[in-house]
């Protein structure tokens, strides 16, 4: 009771996710926060997506299979939609992942609320939000390919095509590790179940990345 009372006095911190994530997950369990962290994360994604849009050029769309006579028109539309949808990406992502985790919690008999899961996932997304801003800022400055993160293996090996190596990215792996820790500390999952769910989600994201690169290859 004394520990819980002390934790209630301190709100979870987004910056603390970089320095003491375990402590933040304990605070989220006792005192979940949503609106301000979600706004900050959405702004980060909005900035990162805008930088991504600014990094796009006609060649990017042509490489994806868009006819040259349509690429110029679609470029402006794509830039606008990328910037706008980027702001709402965290909200949709957090909603879906929280709902799935809650379903797993019900099946596993873990004691956790939707609000706790929503808060946990929002705080975790600050990692990928910072990663998006950092990568897109560098790519914008060096006129790089916005589809290839600098912090991915594809970026390290200077590859130009998306695929498995582009999906293996440091901030994505970091978020996966934090998800496992969060599911254990905040959602009361066993360590084995927490890591299993986190890894499954990571593998699914890799699968979507590979499917996307395959479609791009077919289109070209």
Q: What is the tens place of the pLDDT at every residue in 101-117?
A: 999 999 999 899 999 99
Q: Which of 54, 16, 46, 209 is nearest to 133 (CA)?
A: 46
Residue 139: which residues within 8 A CB-CB, separation 6 or more? Answer: 51, 52, 55, 145, 146, 148, 150
The pLDDT tens digits for 32-76 are 999 999 999 999 999 999 999 888 877 766 666 777 767 777 777
Q: Which of 98, 80, 83 is nearest to 38 (CA)?
A: 98
pLDDT at 212: 56
In the predicted structure, residue 94 carries a pLDDT above the cut 80: yes
- Alpha-carbon distance of 60 to 193, in angstroms, equals 41
Per-residue b or e along 166-186, where b marks 16 or more CB atoms closer than 10 Å to that residue's CB: bbbbbbbebbbbbbbbbbbbb
- Who wins on pLDDT, 220 or 190? 190
pLDDT (mean) for 138-163 = 80
pLDDT at 220: 46
pLDDT at 72: 74
Q: How far is CA 190 from CA 35, 63, 109, in A?
A: 28, 45, 11
Q: Which of 1, 3, 31 is nearest to 16 (CA)?
A: 31
Residue 152: which residues within 8 A CB-CB, separation 6 or more? Answer: 165, 166, 167, 168, 169, 170
- Alpha-carbon distance of 184 to 92, in angstroms, equals 23
- Alpha-carbon distance of 140 to 219, in angstroms, equals 25
Question: What pLDDT band is residue 163 in, cutting at 50, 70 and 90?
Answer: low
Is the four-CA dihedral 49, 61, 204, 95 of positive or negative sign?
positive
- Alpha-carbon distance of 62 to 145, in angstroms, equals 13
Q: What is the pTM of this model?
A: 0.85
pLDDT at 99: 96
pLDDT (mean) for 78-82 = 86
Sorted by where each begins, the domain ranges of the chain are 20-219
Annotate 142-183 with DSSP letters as a single string: HT--TTS-TTBHHHHTT--S-SHHHH-BHHHHHHHHHHHHHH
In the predicted structure, residue 218 carries a pLDDT above the cut 50: no
Q: What is the token pair recorded at 172?
A: 């994505």
- Alpha-carbon distance of 128 to 102, in angstroms, equals 22
């Amino acid at each position: 009771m004394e520990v819980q009372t002390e934790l209630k006095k301190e709100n979870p911190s987004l910056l603390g996710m970089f320095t003491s994530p375990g402590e933040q997950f304990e605070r989220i369990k006792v005192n979940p926060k949503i609106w301000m962290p979600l706004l900050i994360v959405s702004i980060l994604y909005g900035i990162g997506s805008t930088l991504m849009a600014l990094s796009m050029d006609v060649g990017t769309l042509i490489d994806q299979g868009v006819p040259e006579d349509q690429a110029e028109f679609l470029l402006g539309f794509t830039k606008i939609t990328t910037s706008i949808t980027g702001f709402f990406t965290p909200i949709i992502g957090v909603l879906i992942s929280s709902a799935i985790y809650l379903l797993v919690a019900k099946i596993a008999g873990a004691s956790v609320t939707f609000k706790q899961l929503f808060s946990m996932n929002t705080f975790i997304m600050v990692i990928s939000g910072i990663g998006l801003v950092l990568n897109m800022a560098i790519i914008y400055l060096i006129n790089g390919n916005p589809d290839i993160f600098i912090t991915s293996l594809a970026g390290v090996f200077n590859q130009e095509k998306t695929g498995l190596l582009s999906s293996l990215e440091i901030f994505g792996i970091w978020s996966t590790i934090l998800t496992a820790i969060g599911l254990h500390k905040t959602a009361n999952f066993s360590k084995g179940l927490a890591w299993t769910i986190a890894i499954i989600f990571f593998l699914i994201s890799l699968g979507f990345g590979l499917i996307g690169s395959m479609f791009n290859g077919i289109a070209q």
